[in-house]
Structure 1
């Protein structure tokens, strides 16, 4: 016979909502998703939540449980104290559709913008050959079940909605790393693309994405950091630096990421009056209409906003004296600290209202 446990579940839609308390029976060995199903069968038949496999392999049942992004089918009730109230909320980074269901289409937009695998043109599919070590190196990243927990916990988009158009997120950084490590991929500009188009430079390696990954992928150590190192090798190569000193700005040979089509897009942008959508960056009025509808698969992805630097590549003093010395917790405001927050080197976004 099970015991009655206290649950607090967010109910609402895009227009607003609130936490609702429930008393639900919990049996030994059950997971949070089991309890949600029992709640749907008893007290809340209209409760909306996503799920599919119930085996931790589809990534559908992502939600935040006690402030931490988790898969509800892999979160056992035995991990909580019997007297503890279990709070279940939708993923905070994405717009709410209803109850625990969020709109994660942002991630599919970024998936479409990521260049696909480009096999050698002169090798037939049945003739592909790879060494086992190359298979194993990229296989780790292919374990991703696209639960988007790493995406929702990344504070670059979690705390800054304006970054979404220019930041692909950790899930697509490991996709770029996987293809860059693939010996049969013929694209040579994966690193430059990750820096210029996917916003790799925005990541400050807090490793919160690795911490919540249910597949235990070393997203930061094995994916993002190696990509950053490769970008640095190219960006700060002494020969490239010398070339920048010899040539005038704009005359240095460009990579395939930023040349050709981008220049045409810039001219069309000026001619069209500067139309620019949140979803795409093609700078063409007709293409932007399609971008809003998600139909233009060939549009140019938006350019991230680079940090202001002087001619020597150094940040101005204002960047170092910004009034946000640290970011809020990626797990929300319900985190308890051993010290009062006002005693820490931490500036809360709503500090004036709270303290």
Structure 2
């Protein structure tokens, strides 16, 4: 995720050309596509929308109302940029690619964690008030920008892939089905929407120290199912560490992380539940326990 905070440059009043005003607005309203009385015209390609955007910093803040022009085909990030250009030049928002691949522009829209650049204005009613707030699970920096360093700290706690000692570079061989199984998790763009919506950290700040969150438990699961990962040969049991060090037991599989993932990764079904099953087998299955004992003696 980009660490930069961008604010729009320049301020002023957006003035619509006279020809556009005459052709595209109702008399006296100044609103594109409005009919008499100021109501939006559903057949028009542009209209005025009502936005509420959180403004403030770590010391406090609140929602500020804006009336802003919306054109056909735009996404919420377009509107935020228009607000920066015309009404709020100091509005802070983090963004980068505007293509749904960098994960930078994460925020909450009407209370739901989303990417600003992938949320089309067409999914909202034209009369609807659209509220944009920063990610709730992380500390505020300013306006829509949050401090997500918690996630980077958790990433560093996950031991990296351990290459097999008997194979050199270029000698790795895997079955296609073994490639496809963890490949789904490689689509993660680290937008941290799953981390934000997970109620284990969202509603319980005290859990952050012991809980890695769905994004990094998914990383542990990916490494654990990797057929070439030689972690166990070095004494690292990823199943045990998932439970004891990364807080796998805190997850109660509500699937809220899967629900908000912009890459449609089945985090719960394909990563967390199988990891829970393998961790439980390792710890409580008597046959597995006996096999581990025999293996240690040999």
- TM-score range (shorter-chain normalised) is 0.7 to 0.9
CA contact (8 A) 2:282 2:289 kept: no
Shift of residue 122 of structure 1?
A: 2.2
Aligned pair 1:232/2:276, yes or no?
A: no
Choose the corresponding residue for 1:119, options 163, 178, 181: 163
CA distance in structure 1 between the partners assigned to 2:284 and 2:241 by the alignment = 16
Query: 1:264 corresponds to which residue?
Result: none
CA distance in structure 1 between the partners assigned to 2:243 and 2:169 by the alignment = 30
Structure 2 residue runs without a partner (length 5+): 1-31, 33-45
CA distance in structure 2 between the partners assigned to 1:209 and 1:41 by the alignment = 34
1:136-215 to 2 correspondence within 5 Å? 136-188=180-232, 189-215=237-263
Alpha-carbon RMSD: 1.7
SS at match of 2:61: strand
Choose the corresponding residue for 2:271, options 223, 234, 243: 223
Superposed CA offset, 1:208-237 (max 9, x none): 000000000000000000000001111112
Aligned pair 1:96/2:140, yes or no?
A: yes
Cα distance, 1:240–1:28 mapped onto 2, change above 3 Å: closer
Cα distance, 1:60–1:178 mapped onto 2, change above 3 Å: same
1:319-338 to 2 correspondence within 5 Å? none
Query: 2:150 corresponds to which residue?
Result: 106
CA distance in structure 1 between the partners assigned to 2:191 and 2:288 by the alignment = 40
SS at match of 2:170: helix
TM-score (norm. length: structure 2): 0.80
Superposed CA offset, 1:123-148 (max 9, x none): 11211111111111010000000000
CA distance in structure 2 between the partners assigned to 1:242 and 1:222 by the alignment = 28
Choose the corresponding residue for 1:34, options 70, 73, 78: 78
CA distance in structure 1 between the partners assigned to 2:131 and 2:278 by the alignment = 42
Shift of residue 240 of structure 1?
A: 7.1
Query: 1:85 corresponds to which residue?
Result: 129
CA distance in structure 2 between the partners assigned to 1:169 and 1:210 by the alignment = 12
CA distance in structure 1 between the partners assigned to 2:86 and 2:169 by the alignment = 53
User: How many pairs align?
Assistant: 246
Query: 2:49 corresponds to which residue?
Result: 5
Relative contact order, CA 8 A, sep 6+: which one is greater?
2
Structure 1 residue runs without a partner (length 5+): 244-251, 256-355
CA distance in structure 2 between the partners assigned to 1:48 and 1:242 by the alignment = 57
CA contact (8 A) 2:140 2:146 kept: yes
SS at match of 2:209: helix
Shift of residue 35 of structure 1?
A: 0.2
CA distance in structure 2 between the partners assigned to 1:62 and 1:233 by the alignment = 37
- Higher-Rg structure is 2
CA distance in structure 1 between the partners assigned to 2:172 and 2:284 by the alignment = 35
Cα distance, 1:36–1:223 mapped onto 2, change above 3 Å: same
1:246-285 to 2 correspondence within 5 Å? none
Aligned pair 1:74/2:118, yes or no?
A: yes
